[in-house]
Amino acid sequence: MKKLVLSILFLFIFSLCSGQIIEFKATHVNFRFFNDTTQTFGRWGDWEETYTPIEMDLKEMTLIIFSEMKQTYSIVDLVDKVDNTTHKITIFKAKDTLGGDCEIKMIVIYFGNQRFVHIAWPNLELAYQIEKP
């Protein structure tokens, strides 16, 4: 009986520890570049279909995008959190694989239940439309 209780306890603890990874699937991707002449970002293009797995590891504080070229972002700090009647945005300061500074926004728009991951550098912005797999 004692072994059974310990086994159940172990499985429960293991499931809590392994449950630190949140998985998403990107269905669409979009990007835009900073224009040095106008000193503004250009327009967003058309959404391109994709099937790209995305993982947010809460224990390791990383966001991994499994695109053709794997993108790994180390989350450095929580910058801000906005939650109102129309949307929720969580903003993180992060470092990309090369050590460059970037900002990650996890966005939920309540109307239509749309979800996005937005990654911004000084000269480039990427946006992924995501859903739970």
pLDDT at 74 over 50: yes
Region 68-97: what's the mean pLDDT?
93
Residues 6 or more apart in contact with residue 30 via CB below 8 angstroms: 44, 45, 46, 47, 48, 126, 127, 129
Task: Give the per-residue pLDDT at 19.
Answer: 57
Q: What is the pTM of this model?
A: 0.81
- Candidate from 3-12, 34-43, 91-100 with smallest mean pLDDT: 3-12
Region 79-93: what's the mean pLDDT?
92
Question: For residue range 12-37, what is the model confidence (pLDDT) as tens digits?
Answer: 344 444 558 999 999 999 999 999 99
Report the first-to-last Cα separation within the chain, whole angstroms: 38
> Which among 128, 78, 80, 83 is positioned nearest to 109, based on CA atoms?
83
Region 71-78: what's the mean pLDDT?
95
